[in-house]
Amino acid sequence: MTNIAICAPATPITRDHARALKELVAAEFPQHRVHFHEQCFMQAGHFAGDDLARLTAFVECANDPDFDVVWFAKGGYGSNRIAEAAMVRMNAAARAKTFVGFSDCGYLLAALYKAGVGQCVHGSMPVSARSERGREAVRRVMRWIGGDTSGVEPSLDGTTPAVAFNLITLAMVAGTPMMPDLSGHVVMVEEVSEHLYAVDRLFFHLAGTLPRIAGLRLGAITDVPENYVEFGQSPEEIARYWCDRAGIRYLGRAEIGHTPANRVVPFGLASPPSGS
């Protein structure tokens, strides 16, 4: 039995979201148990409770030895505001856990990875369980938690460490105390709802701040707003341009992003999930 704690470090979910996931788990994954922290349903303006409430819930879930996995409920914005404070509160139980999420929750994954706390995993989140296409992304994570690696990003070879981030999240983390050392890693990035000129700007920043990485893979760039004039380069052309300028190997595409096809990427060297 794998016990999974769910908290919301950024924005809230509804009880309907929680109900949809619980029904899916009961029907298809009886070997797992999910527990939603009550904080998931709090609201303080944009956030799922104020900073202290979100910090407290995350620390409680991470440090509770009864849970094997902490799964972030939803992204949005806000996990950066609690990430550094959370790291100094992690105990031995947290260091044995798996932490799953992506998008804005990449701030926490970055901080955890830098601190050497647990197994960090880029993966879809419980908020997606209400739609059929979203449920398949959730199933991919649940299977991985159970030891089935069929939903892992296919380019992972088990010999080169890898990470995966939302592009703007990684750009914002770079140069801060939360930034892990990504030397020798394959870095995968994706983005949603940003103009292509903004994607280009983010690559400009990363090209000047990333260390000597093993290479970069580009995930999905989706829901790009229409600009008053065409940017003139595709997302892949942008990625190649900045990789060439920075002397970074461009390794092709990755099957990650804000889509139902989002694949699982364990940080570091791919390994079976703890507790499976």
Q: Residue 214: which CATH number?
A: 3.50.30.60
Q: Is 170 within a domain?
A: yes
Residues 130 and 168 in one domain: no
pLDDT at 273: 52
3-state class (DSSP) for residue 65: coil
Residues 147 and 10 in one domain: yes
The residue segments making up the domain with residue 115 are 2-151
Residues 204 and 134 in one domain: no
Q: How does pLDDT run along the chain (276 residues), one tens digit per residue?
A: 999 999 999 999 999 999 999 999 999 999 999 999 999 999 999 999 999 999 999 999 999 999 999 999 999 999 999 999 999 999 999 999 999 999 999 999 999 999 999 999 999 999 999 998 999 999 999 999 999 999 999 999 889 999 999 999 999 999 999 999 999 999 999 999 999 999 999 999 999 999 899 999 999 999 999 999 999 999 999 999 999 999 999 999 999 999 999 999 999 986 545 444
Q: Is 192 within a domain?
A: yes
Residues 185 and 134 in one domain: no
Cα gap 128→260, rounded to integer Å: 9
Residues 128 and 181 in one domain: no
Residues 135 and 186 in one domain: no
> Could you tell me the strand order of the sheet in which 186-192 lies?
162-166, 186-192, 215-222, 250-253
Residues 140 and 174 in one domain: no
